[in-house]
Structures are given as structure tokens and as C-alpha cells.
Structure 1
Amino acid sequence: MLVKQSCHRLFHRRLKVKNFEDSTTQKNRTNRIILAEQTFHKKGSSPPDFPLGLILWYEVFISNSKPGDMMKYAIGCDIGGSFVKVGLLTEAGQLTSRKTIPLPRFKDPEDFTGWVSSALVMFARQNLPDDGQLSGVGIGIPGPVKYPEGTLFDPPNLPFSGEIPFGELLRKRLPFPAFIDNDATVQTLGEARVGKGRKIRNFIYIALGTGIGGGIVVNGRIYRGDTGMAGEVGHLVIDYRGRKCLCGARGCMEAYASINGIVNSLREFPYDLPGEIRELLETGPWGKLPGILKERIERGEKHWQKIWNIFADALGAGMGSLINIFNPEKIIISGGLSYYSSLFLARAIETARHYSFKQPAAVCEITVSKLKENAGIYGAGLLVFEEEGK
């Protein structure tokens, strides 16, 4: 946790190491801020190094800070395949500011990490109140993540492969604490603290988006498993001879009940595809496909409902297995595709009941999250305060 005095000392120590002594003048500080912002906004460029980020962070504190107790804040960051959502939260869980930033495509994990660190420092500078104290940043990122190290393993929906020390790379660049976990796991935490999972001791969280993320709450606590990587419900196999999933396996629920799954279903569709759908399948963005399908169904083209029926049956089969395994009180559906729940949820619930035992199915409520796209911001920010309290 950094306050004005400690940041001031660290600022000057880092400047001395990097021979930036003359940057203590207001003019040079401003020039460096402009340079860092230009670097950040230039797609594909090398990110500013740690001292530049620290200069940006230092600017948060040098104007009119007040002595005495300061209100604690945390940044919540939800990294998706196309966008990064960032928000500032109070310790009580109030979201005071929010921003969505388009995510450029990076081939190198270090460039990606540098871009993320710059975005976070700039967000802090622009949004942290003068009387605020930043406890740190929590980050949710797609793919298997080893917690608390923040190591990422072969993320299927990011353009990297292998073992990526994302947490280590990020902490070297940030002047405040950082906690990294799987995106759906932090969304689950947000749902548990301020959403429909509040005061529910046992529930499953399913995030429907480009892929499928998930989280598990057992006896009021996030269940992380032996190596911190539990909750990958999207890779529950519902047909071992089924479609090839991006993870390399066959028949994963994600290969059917996600945006990737919708793409798979359209490519297998026995009817001629309209030009707008063919074009999106070829060039993207695939995220527009669910909305187009919904519009066509509402115009009376009912055969497109078959795509959503495939989606619903796969989701329902997966939820049926989860009910049998965990006997949860709730299954909470979230993510971008939850906005289209009118097209698939009723059928998915019916399918889940069919594939689960009667007694656990009877006590399990399947519902849609009220936090929707903000669940990751809430959960990532609240993760900071949970870690701070340990």
C-alpha cells in the first residue's frame, strides 16, 4: 500500500537509478506523462518502463493530498478477449468509476503485460480521489491461472501459448500490489459478495462469452482446488466424440454453448447462410453473431432458433452434471451471452433437470446474474481487500 510520502521516496530512488534527476521539474514530468500516454495509445508499441509508470502514479499524489485517514480503494480489472474493463471500488464494494478499453492484439506476453500495466497506472491517476489510498489492483484473466502466483497456462482465448509468468511480469512494472486470478473465478467472487450469490453458501457460477468460464463456491468460500486452477466448467466434456475444442479436447461444453460454439453450429448449419453471417464468420467480429441471430428470430425466421437449441442442450447437459457433482443451491449464469437468455435459458433448465437427480435438481435455482458485465470488476477489486485482510 502506497501513500504520498513512501511514493515520493520511491519515486526519487527510481529516478536516480535511471538518471532521470532532471524530471523532478513540473515541465519534464508533464512531458514524460504525455510521452507515456502517447506510447500507451499507439497500438503495438513497446510499453513505457517502470519509472515512466511510476511518474504517472506519482502524479496521483502530488496534488492537494490531505493528512489523516484516507479512504481505501482498489482497482478491479477484467481482461477479456477484445476489451479490458477497469473500475475503482471502495472497501464497501461501491463502484465509483468504470472504463472499457479496446484490447490491441499482442503476440508477445511482455508487450501485453506492459500495455496492461500502463493502462492500470493511467486509470489510477485519472480516477483515484485526492483523499484516496490505493490498496492495489485485482485482475481477472481468461485461461487456467495458478493462484496466487498469477502464472497463466496455455490460455485458449488469448494469442499466447505455454507457461506465462503474467503475475511476475506485471508486478515488476506496477508500483502497487497486484493479485491475478482466473477471470471467471474473480467474477464468482464478485457475485458472492455483491450479487445473487450473496449469503448463498454453495453455488456454481457460469460465464458465457467467447468461451465459458466458471467458478465454484463451497461453504461460502471460493474453491480453487489443489493448484488453484479449479472451476474450468467450460471444459466439462458432454460428448467425448464431439466437436474439437480450442483446448485440444473433444466435446467440451464450451465447443457448443459459447460464441465459439455458435460459430461451430453456424458452420455446420444445413441451410444457406445470409451474406452478413458469412462475412462475420470469415472476418469477425464473432461477438455480433448472437445479436444478428436474435434479430432474425424476432423477424420470424424461426429456423435460426435451432442454433440456440444446440447451445441450450449443451449448457443444460453440463449443468445437470454440475448439479449431480456439487449439489449447489444456485447456478448463476452471467457473461455477455446472458443478455440472450430468453432464447436458451428455459430449454437449458429443462435439459439440466433431465440430466440430474431429482432431489438435488429440486433445490437448485438456475438464475441470471444481476451484475452481468461488471461482475469481474467487482470481484477483482474485492479480491484486493480480501488479500489485504489476511
Structure 2
Amino acid sequence: MSKARPAADVVLGLDVGGTKLAAGVVSRGGEVSAFTTVPTEAADGPAKVIDRLCALAGDVLAAAGLEPGDLAGAGIGCCGPLDARTGIVHDPPNLPGWGDVPLAELVAADLGTRTWVENDATAATVGEWRHGAGQGVRDMVYLTISTGVGGGVISDGRVLRGGSGNGGELGHTLLVADGRLCGCGARGCLEAYVSGTAIAARARERIEDGASSTLAALTDIGAADVARAARSGDPLASAVWRETTDLLGGALAGYVNLFEPRLVVLGGGVSRSGEQLLTPVRDRARALAMRPAACGVDVRPARLGEKAGVVGAAAVAFDRAAEAV
């Protein structure tokens, strides 16, 4: 029986995050089939997580009626820092124990197909640029705000990767001197304040310090809970949320000044709060950034949702496969 698409027209897209693993079969046009996710369970360490990732990849291929030989290759978006040229991952803050893990080599050996690795936020940036909210834009900044904060930059139609391929670590921009401890080991990073993890932690800390809040009744507070309580007028949650949007908007103003994007795209779980996040962040970024850059920038939600990493990793794989010919 013939396949629905020629082999070279599909790749396997994989996304390795601190909270979840995702996989899907992706076409050149960015269409995704057989998409699925499972928890990362990062505390299990790299060997078990990679086993879980490869099992997920096998399930997705089976669901799509494909075998590894039917693919143009596989692309993996993974938390950085990493070396995209060698496929080795170097101690990501949200993946404990991942010291110099040869991720591309291990997955390629298991799946039996060419495999390439890219920083997950860079991959998601490429996905949103080519197939999502950034289509047709030549200058764009992307931020994913979830367990951590990642980012990427498109400048004059090119991805800014930097000397070792780890450029665009916008989540680790210094925001507050000697501020909150970040998972990367530094203090005061944007991630340490506006990630979903940090939003929840800041709310919990205030409750532990004796502040009154409806959130105190919850056994496990998440960023979505803080957003929901803020919408209901809870004073503590409202204060935490306002600080979050102020800090994020201020950071975006800096990125607007640096890169003069026409578009800033916000993705990740925290962005699902919609205009509750977008409106104050957009207003603050425009108010603080310098003209004329401030006048020309828009802030929009990501369009690909939880599939952004998989679509972006696949786009990178198509590029690398073409280069390898």
C-alpha cells in the first residue's frame, strides 16, 4: 500500500521540555498529524527521559502508519544550552542531570533515522515564524513563557543563533540586579520572575509570609490559579500578576530597542491567559520602548499552541536534511 505522502515530505518533530515531551509527524507545510504529549518526569534523569521520548516517537509513527525509513529525518527541540552542530545537550536548568548528553546520537540510534537537535525556544521561534503568528514578518521576537522562559529572534528574515547556536536566551536577560535565584544559577533573570514556576512561587511566598488570599486554600498553586484569582479581584494575586506584566513589558521594551521587531509573539502556558497578559504587556512595552521602534511593534499570541515546538523542530529538520544532500 502506498503512503499518503512521499517519504521526503514528512519528518518527525520532537519537543523536550521541563514539563512535557511532545511528538508529531509534520509535513513541509507545517501540518501536524498523530500529535501527542506525555509528562517529561525530568527528575528521572536523562536515560529514562530519552527512553520515554523514543517510545513516544514510536507510538506517533505507528499512529501515522509510518516507519523511520519513510521520514526525511527527525528534529528535536530541547531546552538549552546545547550544541546544535553536535546534538549534545549541556546542563539545561530545567533538565537536571543532563550534563553533555549526546541527544541526537542516542535518538538516531534508537529510531534509525537522521536526527538533528535545536534549542527548543529557537525551534518554536522558527515554527511560529514560518507557520504561525509570524508568517510574512521579517523581524520578530518570540518568547515562550511556561516552566521557564525561552526566546528567539528573527532579524531581516534570518534566525539569530549566535556563535555556538545558543543566541536568543532572552529568558536569562538580567532583569533585577542580585534578584531572585534562577535555575541557571544566576540571580535576577527574567525567567526567575515571569515564568509560570516563578509566578506561582512568588504567590506562595507571600501567603507563607502571612498575606491573605483565596489561593491559600489550594494545596498546589500554579500560574493559571494566580491569573484566575487576579481576574476575580484577589488582592494578592492581582499584585503578583501586575508585577509580572510590568516586568515582562519592561523586558520586551528592551528587546524592542535592541532588535526593532515588527512583531513580538508570546507563547507557552502563561500566555493562555490571553488579553489579561497581552494588553498590559503590550501597553507597557510600547510606553517604555524608544520611538520609532515602539510605534511599529505589535504583541500577539502564538498561533501554534502546544505544537509550536514540534512544528519548529520539524522545520529545522527539513532545513538540515536539505543542507546534508
Correspondent of 1:361 among 294, 297, 307: 294
Tell me, yes or no, if the aligned pair for 1:203 and 1:331 is still in contact at 8 Å: yes
**C-alpha deviations, 1:321-348, integer Å up to 9, x for none?**
1111111111111111111132232222
Question: Cα–Cα, structure 1 residues 105 and 360, in superposed 2: closer, same or farther, change >3 Å?
Answer: closer
Alpha-carbon deviation of 1:162?
A: 3.0
Aligned to 1:195: 132
Aligned to 1:318: 251
Alpha-carbon deviation of 1:121?
A: 2.4
| Cα separation, 2, equivalents of 1:343 and 1:361 | 21
**C-alpha deviations, 1:77-134, integer Å up to 9, x for none?**
122222212111122222222112233345442333233223212321231358x931
Correspondent of 1:370 among 299, 303, 313: 303
**Mapped pair 1:265 → 2:202:** yes
| Cα separation, 2, equivalents of 1:181 and 1:276 | 41
**C-alpha deviations, 1:209-240, integer Å up to 9, x for none?**
01101011112121110001111100001111
**Mapped pair 1:235 → 2:175:** no
AA partner of residue 164 (structure 2): T
Alpha-carbon deviation of 1:186?
A: 0.7
Aligned to 2:242: 309
Correspondent of 1:217 among 148, 151, 154: 154
Correspondent of 1:226 among 163, 182, 185: 163
| Cα separation, 2, equivalents of 1:311 and 1:339 | 15
Residues 1-390 of structure 1: matches in 2 within 5 Å? 64-65=1-2, 70=7, 72-129=9-66, 133-269=70-206, 271-273=211-213, 274-277=215-218, 279-280=219-220, 289-390=222-323
Question: Cα–Cα, structure 1 residues 301 and 112, in superposed 2: closer, same or farther, change >3 Å?
Answer: closer
| Cα separation, 1, equivalents of 2:142 and 2:73 | 25
Partner SS state of residue 179, structure 1: strand
Query: Which one has the largest radius of gyration?
Result: 1
Q: Which moved more, 1:102-111 or 1:361-370?
A: 102-111
- Percent of pairs identical after alignment? 30
Aligned to 1:16: none
| Cα separation, 1, equivalents of 2:107 and 2:66 | 24
The count of residues paired between Structure 1 and Structure 2 equals 318
- Structure 1: gaps spanning 5 or more residues: 1-63, 282-288
* TM-score, length of structure 1 as denominator length: 0.76
| Cα separation, 2, equivalents of 1:204 and 1:372 | 16
Tell me, yes or no, if the aligned pair for 2:30 and 2:131 is still in contact at 8 Å: yes
Tell me, yes or no, if the aligned pair for 1:202 and 1:219 is still in contact at 8 Å: yes
- Structure 2: gaps spanning 5 or more residues: none
Tell me, yes or no, if the aligned pair for 1:143 and 1:154 is still in contact at 8 Å: yes
| Cα separation, 1, equivalents of 2:299 and 2:32 | 26
Partner SS state of residue 280, structure 1: coil
| Cα separation, 2, equivalents of 1:236 and 1:205 | 14
Tell me, yes or no, if the aligned pair for 2:16 and 2:78 is still in contact at 8 Å: yes
Question: Cα–Cα, structure 1 residues 276 and 83, in superposed 2: closer, same or farther, change >3 Å?
Answer: farther
Tell me, yes or no, if the aligned pair for 1:256 and 1:264 is still in contact at 8 Å: no
Tell me, yes or no, if the aligned pair for 1:309 and 1:344 is still in contact at 8 Å: no
Runs of 4+ off more than 3 Å: 68-71, 104-108, 272-277, 297-300
* TM-score, length of structure 2 as denominator length: 0.90
| Larger RCO: 1 or 2 (CA < 8 Å, sep 6+) | 2
Please provide the CA RMSD for this pair. 2.3
Tell me, yes or no, if the aligned pair for 1:305 and 1:343 is still in contact at 8 Å: no
Tell me, yes or no, if the aligned pair for 1:110 and 1:169 is still in contact at 8 Å: no
Tell me, yes or no, if the aligned pair for 1:190 and 1:376 is still in contact at 8 Å: yes
Tell me, yes or no, if the aligned pair for 2:11 and 2:71 is still in contact at 8 Å: yes
